[in-house]
Chains A and B, each alone.
Chain A
Amino acid sequence: MSRLPHAAPLSWPSESTDLPRDLNERSALNSLLSQEFPNASGELSPIEGGRAAANRQLAAVDAKRYGRSRNHLNGAVTRLSPYIRHGILTLAEVRDAVFSQLKQNNQGRDDGGKMINELGWRDFWQRMWLDLGDRIHDDQEEHKTGFAAAEYQQALPDDVREGRTQLACIDGFRNELVSHGWLHNHARMWMAAYLVHWRRVHWRAGADWFLEHLLDGDPASNHLSWQWVASCFSHKPYFFNRQNLARYSNGRYCQDCPSHDSCPFDGSYEQLEKQLFKVQPAIREGSARRSSRSSSRSGQKSNQKPSQRPNSRPSTQRF
């Protein structure tokens, strides 16, 4: 394990019962935490905390490339979320860094629009949390899937928690979640949709599981994004198909997947919709009309037929 950065010096005396600050190696921190918090599962993440690590990550941001490639698992995503969530970097600092970069590169608003938009999402979630308080844990609206909240399983299935679903993508995301404490936004959406719609698990079980592990775990953005997928914080459920996942993951999971020939995500959006949801034509048509006025969801065109799902395109929804 690597060395820890030098701790900032204190100008006041320590007490023997204070937690130690003189740890040189990450392995020493790992041992300390195993003693102090024996019930906290797992090991340290390879993702380092602290301002120096945050600054390194911020220096690597490319706002223009982010805008073009962010929906791909290997796209130029910023990985700033853990640092922003804990105020190691503030949204104002990141906003100013993006503005500086755009000016330095003679780039304009179009080049940095997506990145600034994502910072807006974070600000929005925080405002929602201030507004909702503890109600963030409740269903904001009814599900639009045709199923009542009580029809969703309350507990996280063991095979999902343990990475034994035999779906290379879902088990891969689970492993990254548990080992790194960070997942690409698209992977979060796929995993949430799988749990809620394919396994019919209540969003809360998945959302709480994510918060155990995500370094950027934030009940506002996490819970409301799970509810967005579930359809109790949106006009319609989010789901995806194999083609969508393969495209944005460069097929990295499908190739050697043990369920290659029995993939539950295989099918058109129309087929999957029939399979996953109770048919509710009135809601579907209504939601399609509403979506046609919304630019935030999927870029759906206003002349799109109600039966066509907008989910074939990556959404701008952010966890």
Chain B
Amino acid sequence: MDPRKPILWVHEEALGPANPALQDYPDAPGLFVFDDAWIQEQAISRKRIGFLYESALSLPLTLRRGDVASEVLRFAERHGADAVVTSAVVDPRLQRIAAAIDRELPLWMLDPDPFVSLAKPPRLGRFSRYWREAEAVVWGGF
């Protein structure tokens, strides 16, 4: 069943209008949270935070800082939401945050348009192996 009253969690891998959560739920309140623990532990410089801030400003998002999962759940409560919608994550840190949110409230994770769709997972390990399988498929769209 689709969420009826979701909020959107926009994270740092999808700060653009192609974010499938923003595209599918344009009227839902959206949130971006600056991850205090990550900024502190990785000694993230002001440049990087500023770049994320400017990018988040170009989207309709409430901006907060702190513990990401807690802030997302608080934002959901503030809006009486029954679910959180976001886009697929790659970073294990974001995966852990997603799991923490999902323990409290249903989390819907939407896939963005892929760069290349392969029938089966490619062989990784070295770029050349992956590219032998992917290159022709990418250029198939040309």
A residues engaging B (CB < 8 A)? 4-5, 7-12, 14-15, 17-21, 23, 29-30, 33-34, 36-37, 39-45, 47-54, 82-83, 86-93, 95-96, 99, 102, 109, 116-117, 119-124, 126-131, 133-134, 178, 180-181, 208, 211-215, 217, 219-220, 294-296
Name the interface residues of B42-100: CB closer than 8 Å to any CB of A: 42-55, 57-65, 78-79, 87, 90-92, 95
Please, which residues of chain B bring their CB within 8 A of the CB of A178? 45
Asked if residues B115 and A119 are in contact (CB atoms below 8 Å), the reply is yes
Please, which residues of chain A bring their CB within 8 A of the CB of B43? 39-41, 212
Asked if residues B45 and A181 are in contact (CB atoms below 8 Å), the reply is yes
Tell me which of B50, B92, B116 contacts A29 (CB under 8 A). B50
Interface size on B, residues (CB 8 A): 61
Please, which residues of chain A bring their CB within 8 A of the CB of B134? 120, 123
- Which residue of A has the minimal Cβ distance to B141? A99
Tell me which of A40, A180, A296 contacts B127 (CB under 8 A). A296
Smallest beta-carbon distance A216→chain B, Å:
9
Smallest beta-carbon distance B18→chain A, Å:
5
Asked if residues B16 and A90 are in contact (CB atoms below 8 Å), the reply is yes
B119 at the binding interface (Cβ < 8 Å): no
Asked if residues A131 and B124 are in contact (CB atoms below 8 Å), the reply is yes
Known A-B contacts A7-B58, A11-B27; A219 and B131 likewise in contact (beta carbons under 8 Å): no
Asked if residues B139 and A295 are in contact (CB atoms below 8 Å), the reply is no
Binary interface encoding of chain B residues 121-142 relative to chain A, with 1 for a CB under 8 A from any of its CBs, else 0:
0101011101100110011011
B39 at the binding interface (Cβ < 8 Å): yes
Tell me which of B39, B45, B55, B135 contacts A213 (CB under 8 A). B45
Q: How far is A93 from B23 in the complex, measured between Cα atoms in Å?
A: 15
Tell me which of A20, A34, A87 contacts B13 (CB under 8 A). A87
Please, which residues of chain B bring their CB within 8 A of the CB of A33? 46, 49-50, 53
Please, which residues of chain A bring their CB within 8 A of the CB of B49? 33, 37, 40
Apart from the given pairs A15-B78, A40-B46, A131-B124, 4 other A-B contacts in the complex at a CB distance below 8 Å: A5-B54, A39-B43, A44-B50, A51-B58
B residues engaging A (CB < 8 A)? 12-19, 27, 29, 34, 39-40, 42-55, 57-65, 78-79, 87, 90-92, 95, 112-116, 122, 124, 126-128, 130-131, 134-135, 138-139, 141-142
Q: How far is A8 from B126 in the complex, measured between Cα atoms in Å?
A: 41
Known A-B contacts A11-B60, A12-B79; A93 and B50 likewise in contact (beta carbons under 8 Å): no
Asked if residues A44 and B15 are in contact (CB atoms below 8 Å), the reply is no
* 7 A-B contact pairs sorted by A residue (CB < 8 Å): A10-B29, A21-B63, A52-B58, A87-B14, A90-B113, A117-B135, A120-B115
Known A-B contacts A11-B27, A14-B62; A50 and B114 likewise in contact (beta carbons under 8 Å): no
Known A-B contacts A120-B138, A124-B131; A21 and B115 likewise in contact (beta carbons under 8 Å): no
Smallest beta-carbon distance A18→chain B, Å:
5
Please, which residues of chain B bring their CB within 8 A of the CB of A5? 54, 57-58
Asked if residues B51 and A181 are in contact (CB atoms below 8 Å), the reply is yes
Asked if residues B46 and A30 are in contact (CB atoms below 8 Å), the reply is yes
- Which residue of B has the minimal Cβ distance to A318? B127
Known A-B contacts A87-B13, A87-B14, A92-B112; A43 and B128 likewise in contact (beta carbons under 8 Å): no
Please, which residues of chain A bring their CB within 8 A of the CB of B19? 87
Asked if residues B54 and A50 are in contact (CB atoms below 8 Å), the reply is yes
Closest 6 pairs (CB-CB, A-B): A49-B54, A87-B14, A91-B115, A49-B55, A50-B58, A19-B63
- Which residue of B has the minimal Cβ distance to A85? B13
Asked if residues B92 and A133 are in contact (CB atoms below 8 Å), the reply is yes
Smallest beta-carbon distance A172→chain B, Å:
18
- Which residue of A has the minimal Cβ distance to B122? A127
Smallest beta-carbon distance B135→chain A, Å:
7
Please, which residues of chain A bring their CB within 8 A of the CB of B59? 8, 51
Asked if residues B45 and A12 are in contact (CB atoms below 8 Å), the reply is no
